[in-house]
A and B are shown apart, each in its own frame.
Chain A
């Protein structure tokens, strides 16, 4: 670039400026941070009234646990939820994207979303990226055609089964399902079985841990049981508490809550067409 050129504001698109810096750092021996993966155990099963999804809550960055209580059960539609395993960014992005597409579709058709719609949108996207979007998903929901449970693999293939497990802890969880699953489970039996399967993953798989999240979807109703079970409480807490070192004088203490509770007033009139 000649120095006489006028400064033009940068147009859109990826800026490659930092690539040289990254190369230089890599040459000097600094390792790039590894992807944040949800090591994970995710499961789903069909019971007599609908679908139950379960997930652990550990997110790992290489060997380090970066989030002890993350949410792996993602909202897709009021009647459809999706558990995600694999690269956290990929599962979040793909479920958010398809959730928006489903909402637009609902506005377009004035109907409740169907699970197969979400399934097709997800599988097409993942197939188009030939497995580079590393998201392994368990999609479950209840729509007018009944309860559905599907697994979606990163390359875009899907399976439809009465019970399924995904993630690094899938083998441990599948062993629980294969021994104890039967058709026509009640809601409590189903939740108990899902919790047992996730616990098997939490305790036997290093990539899964912390707490159990459960989501029960039935016709017209869903129950998102966040932290349904907390089998890994923090047992040791330092009694001394946190105190500044003696040399430092505290002049002012001001605590600002970060989230303000907002009162939502329901709109009085529905929008006219």
Chain B
């Protein structure tokens, strides 16, 4: 079995952005793979662009990190020049311009989500190629293939914040169950008028789906005198 550790670092990924009545919920898994090896099992794919706008990254890890760095820098300048927080539409369009103008060199799909006082909560999907699509919900990454049918059935207008977050966690967890390139923990970010809330759902707290087994404690726990504490992120 060839692990091929020299492959590019890519985030197989499942990323989701969902609007609800009053804001948006962004969700992602946490697996970054290099070929068949999981290079980072606890990565954070939801990156901040401004205080009120976040982006979910998928595809090439390097490309998406660099694009979000550049957009964060442009948005910072824009905020200073404008004198007030940038709108989600401006942030998404800056991302789209970077993605479209460099389409030959980049391989990254992004979902921009945030809240501003003019339009409220908004989600913009920016897939490969650099299209920008404003949607009530967006899904992306390799794991999203398994979620199109699920969202067609489960999505409704006017959800509450908790319903939206539960939907996102359930969806990412379903994608993790079926997609080999998605895994780890589920991270969610809720953005609304009150601010930003980051949540962390460890892998073993997720619901079990068809034919999934209960997690068992590793026998290695016998080796360590005290069982290792879960890491805090």
**Interface of A toward B, CB cutoff 8 Å:** 123, 126-127, 130-131, 134, 151, 153-159, 161-162, 168, 170-171, 179-183
CB of B183, distance to nearest CB on chain A (Å)? 15
Verify if B61 is at the interface (C-beta below 8 Å from A): yes
Flag if B231 contacts A162 (CB, 8 Å): yes
- Sample of 5 A–B contacts (CB below 8 Å): A123-B62, A157-B9, A168-B5, A179-B220, A182-B229
Across the two chains, which residue of chain B brings its CB closest to A182? B228
Inter-chain CA distance A159–B5, complex, in Å, is: 16
Flag if B229 contacts A159 (CB, 8 Å): no
Partner of B5, one of A126, A170, A180, A182: A170
CB contacts (< 8 Å) of A179 on chain B: these are 220, 223-224
CB of B222, distance to nearest CB on chain A (Å)? 11
Flag if B9 contacts A155 (CB, 8 Å): yes
CB contacts (< 8 Å) of A161 on chain B: these are 40, 42
CB contacts (< 8 Å) of B9 on chain A: these are 153, 155, 157
CB of B7, distance to nearest CB on chain A (Å)? 10
Verify if B60 is at the interface (C-beta below 8 Å from A): yes
Flag if A153 contacts B34 (CB, 8 Å): yes
CB of B29, distance to nearest CB on chain A (Å)? 15
Flag if B224 contacts A157 (CB, 8 Å): no
**What does the 1/0 interface line of B200-233 toward A look like (CB < 8 Å)?**
0000000000000000000010011010110110
Inter-chain CA distance A28–B232, complex, in Å, is: 60
Partner of A171, one of B32, B37, B220, B228: B37
CB of A27, distance to nearest CB on chain B (Å)? 29
Across the two chains, which residue of chain A brings its CB closest to B66? A127
Given contacts A168-B5, A170-B5, contact A156 B231 (CB under 8 A): no
- Within B1-46, the residues touching A (CB, 8 Å) are 3, 5-6, 8-9, 32, 34, 37, 39-40, 42-43
Inter-chain CA distance A127–B64, complex, in Å, is: 11
Flag if B228 contacts A157 (CB, 8 Å): no
CB contacts (< 8 Å) of B3 on chain A: these are 171
Partner of A157, one of B62, B229, B231, B232: B62
Verify if B77 is at the interface (C-beta below 8 Å from A): no
The tally of residues in B whose CB lies under 8 Å from a CB in A reads 26
Flag if A155 contacts B8 (CB, 8 Å): yes
Across the two chains, which residue of chain B brings its CB closest to A158? B65
Flag if A183 contacts B37 (CB, 8 Å): no
Partner of B60, one of A151, A157, A182: A157
Across the two chains, which residue of chain B brings its CB closest to A130? B105
Inter-chain CA distance A159–B66, complex, in Å, is: 13
Inter-chain CA distance A127–B108, complex, in Å, is: 14
Given contacts A131-B8, A182-B228, contact A155 B60 (CB under 8 A): yes
Partner of B62, one of A153, A162, A182: A153
CB of A175, distance to nearest CB on chain B (Å)? 10
Across the two chains, which residue of chain A brings its CB closest to B39? A159
Inter-chain CA distance A183–B3, complex, in Å, is: 29
CB contacts (< 8 Å) of A126 on chain B: these are 62
Given contacts A161-B42, A179-B223, contact A155 B228 (CB under 8 A): no
CB contacts (< 8 Å) of A168 on chain B: these are 5
Most chain A CB atoms below 10 A, which of B6, B32, B43: B6
CB contacts (< 8 Å) of A131 on chain B: these are 8, 62
CB contacts (< 8 Å) of A123 on chain B: these are 62, 65-66
CB of B96, distance to nearest CB on chain A (Å)? 20
CB of A117, distance to nearest CB on chain B (Å)? 14
Given contacts A157-B62, A161-B42, contact A181 B228 (CB under 8 A): yes
Flag if B62 contacts A155 (CB, 8 Å): yes
Given contacts A159-B40, A179-B223, contact A153 B228 (CB under 8 A): no
10 closest A-B pairs (Cβ-Cβ)? Answer: A157-B61, A157-B62, A156-B62, A155-B62, A182-B228, A153-B9, A157-B9, A159-B40, A179-B220, A155-B8
